[in-house]
């Protein structure tokens, strides 16, 4: 009986590890698939880009929109963690640098959070 329990526990750990061991291609594909919906949220000023490289809701959103932001932020976190592992930089620093790049590339009207935490629309 103990052997079955240990085997089941090992399988659970293995499955969790495999589920997390997604390749960069899968993450990239998910992010690209979400891009039109995210662009729409940003254009409608319903979401903004924070100073840590993540999306933030700007007011009340539908559940599907909240899930969209959550999924995008989870994938961004995976990307930032991978970059941090490769560069030996803190994940927070990687995200902050990405936030700066996002701000430079953002379209006019996009809500952006500056380094001081203040929100402004890009002109």
Render pLDDT for 50-60 as a digit per residue (tens, 0 to 9). 999 999 999 99
The confidence score (pLDDT) of residue 14 equals: 40
How many Å apart are CA 19 and CA 35, to the nearest integer?
23
Strand partners, 55: 49
The confidence score (pLDDT) of residue 114 equals: 97
| Residue 36 maps to a domain | yes
| Residue 73 maps to a domain | yes
Number of domains in the chain: 1
CA distances from 115 to 9, 23, 42 (A): 44, 32, 19
Using 50 as the pLDDT threshold, list the residues of the chain that sit under it. Answer: 1-19
How many Å apart are CA 97 and CA 89, to the nearest integer?
11
The confidence score (pLDDT) of residue 15 equals: 41
How many Å apart are CA 113 and CA 123, to the nearest integer?
13
| Structural domain harbouring 31 | 23-121
| Residue 11 maps to a domain | no
How many Å apart are CA 21 and CA 24, to the nearest integer?
9
pTM of the predicted model over 0.85: no
């Amino acid at each position: 009986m103990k052997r079955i329990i240990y085997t089941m526990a090992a399988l659970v750990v293995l499955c969790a590890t495999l589920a997390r061991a997604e390749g960069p291609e899968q993450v990239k594909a998910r992010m690209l698939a979400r891009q039109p919906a995210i662009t729409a949220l940003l254009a409608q000023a319903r979401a903004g880009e924070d100073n840590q490289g993540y999306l933030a809701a700007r007011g009340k959103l539908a559940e599907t929109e909240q899930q969209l932001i959550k999924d995008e932020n989870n994938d961004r976190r995976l990307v930032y963690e991978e970059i941090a592992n490769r560069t030996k930089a803190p994940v927070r620093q990687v995200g902050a640098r990405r936030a700066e790049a996002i701000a430079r590339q953002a379209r006019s009207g996009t809500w952006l959070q500056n380094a001081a935490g203040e929100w402004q629309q890009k002109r």
